[in-house]
Amino acid sequence: MRLSSEVVVVKPFTNQWSEEDIILITYGDSIIKADQPPLQTLKHFLDTTIENTINSVHILPFFPYSSDDGFAVIDYSSVNESLGTWQDIEDISKDYHLMSDLVINHCSSRSAWFDNFVKGEGQGSDYFFTALPDDNLTDVVRPRTSPLLKEVETGNGKKFVWCTFSHDQVDFDFRNPEVLAAFTSIIRQYLDIGVKIFRLDAIAFLWKVTGTTCINLPETHEVVRLLRTLIESAEPQAIIITETNIPNTQNLTYFGNANEAHGIYNFSLPPLLLNTLLTGNCLYLKRWLMSMPPSQDGTLYFNFIASHDGIGLRPAEGLLSENELDTLVHTVENFGGKISWRTSDTGEQKAYEMNISLYDAMQGTVDGKDQWNFERFICAHAIMFALEGIPGIYIHSLLGTQNDYQKLANTHHNRSINRRRWQENALEEALANKSLHHARVLSTLKSLLNTRIKQPAFHPNATQFTLHLGLQLFGFWRQSQDRKQSIFCVSNVSDQPITLPLSELNLIITESWFELISKKEITELTQKILLTPYQTVWISNVIT
């Protein structure tokens, strides 16, 4: 993902990314300052506080919207004037790889397109998917409990529009090629303004056929392949990442044969990693990692453990037992989190996602709160930063933001608990206050990232093997693509000190070995290292 104005022809199966690529996930107004457009405030934060640590930024929907904090788009071609202008977006794209949402499954019921649908004339009048209440909809899979169909009086009579998420988010009908044509124009505009990474929001629900599950249909995969072809032909260095909060095996299908998404969200990582650190047992995380196929050249995993949404539980289905899931949900509730629900295919109410700031989710274990909040939180990131793929770090994790109960009370939406808006002066005061954890979190995570981006063995496509070190030590081995660097990544995932015998690792005796995080040389390969609770080591034969 090079920043360049040159025309470059990229061959298929080419890795356009490296160990230097880190993506910050943020709203355009996560940090605000009086009398300054938030996008300019964000740019200042990136240029000063982040400095040269993070080279990419995912600005969550920055368009005019009516609900869902941006994901009910009113106008795809405009910047929300409360955030700034297209010039502000372009200024960021000149210095950072810019990732933007393509909210392609639905738009706002207040959009001009839907207004025309209601009128029964003009662009948009035939853009939306409709069904009848007596159609066979029993197998439809969706992440909400609200009624699927919304009754609307239109110029063409009564219609029932399809609403996968909410009645303010009306689903498009991609059977109409004009809808696809409209989105190709939108993509072209975003490319021209400097977008290089497209996040295909809720793409799994794109195509609907009554009488089916209406998720992951073959036509949806065909649309992803087509969009990739169109985007690559227009801008060879641009890439697609699919957002599919679904069970792991289904999620993996969006790679296709390395001809669909360049990247997929590694949705199973957040619940499995949280479960590991709250139980002190890495069994499920280790089993999952062992089963994951390496990403082919030209594809990547997008790793994250916190985002603007909650910690999804569907990607843990089949990976964690029902008892494990129940314990995880109850523990998060005890730490002040909220639970969002969905209706299963049997009509049962099931936990869909856990809404909590990641820092607060790490307050303790399944046995209750303890003194290891900071260490557990850092351990989670040290594991994520080292895994195969590109790391995405949520701005509120980078800052150690805690649950925002005031915003939750104002909006009555569970996801608001982890979507704080920092006043810039309040943030600066928090980062300057040594008695608070925010500065320590920021400096520690930046230090880990600054170490990561120098290691060829942390290339997103570098070799990875899972280590077998028991249930309290979670470890894996990375090797650079030129085979010159090896890194053994081991974390104590428990609240007790654990001894790591170096003899359990394949540390070749003719090499010199270093611990990258502490920057200490290892002089005796038969020694044992005592790992304090939640300590991580990165043991490398190359120091950079």
Active site residues: 201
Q: Three-state DSSP class for 375?
A: helix
- The pair of structure tokens assigned to 209 is 């056929």
Write the DSSP symbol of residue 55: -
Q: Is 415 annotated as a binding residue?
A: yes
CA 523 to chain CA centroid, Å, is 39
Q: Is 225 annotated as a binding residue?
A: no
Q: CB count, 10 Å around CB of 188?
A: 14
Smallest CA-to-CA distance from 398 within 461, 448, 355 is with: 448
Does 330 show up as a binding residue in the annotation? no
Measured in whole angstroms, the distance separating CA 187 from the mean position of its chain's CA atoms is: 21
487: how many CB neighbours lie within 10 A of its CB?
A: 24
309 marked ligand binding residue:
yes
Q: 408 with 415: CB under 8 angstroms?
A: no
Q: Which amino acid is at 47?
A: D
CB 23 within 8 A of CB 57: yes
Q: Is 308 annotated as a binding residue?
A: yes
- Three-state helix/strand/coil letters over 355-371: ECCHHHHCCEECCEECC
Backbone phi and psi for residue 367, each to the nearest 5 degrees, phi listed first: -90, -5
Q: Which of 299, 376, 312 is nearest to 342 (CA)?
A: 312
Cβ-proximal residues to 10 (8 Å cutoff; 6+ apart), any chain? 16, 232, 236, 237
Check if the beta carbon of residue 497 is closer than 8 Å to that of residue 285: no
CB distance 98 to 92 below 8 Å? yes
314 labeled part of a ligand binding site: no
User: CB-based burial of residue 138 (10 Å sphere; 0-12 exposed, 13-18 middle, 19+ buried)?
Assistant: exposed
Annotated binding site for substrate: 68, 106, 199-201, 308-309, 415
Q: Which residues are documented as binding site? A: 68, 106, 199-201, 308-309, 415
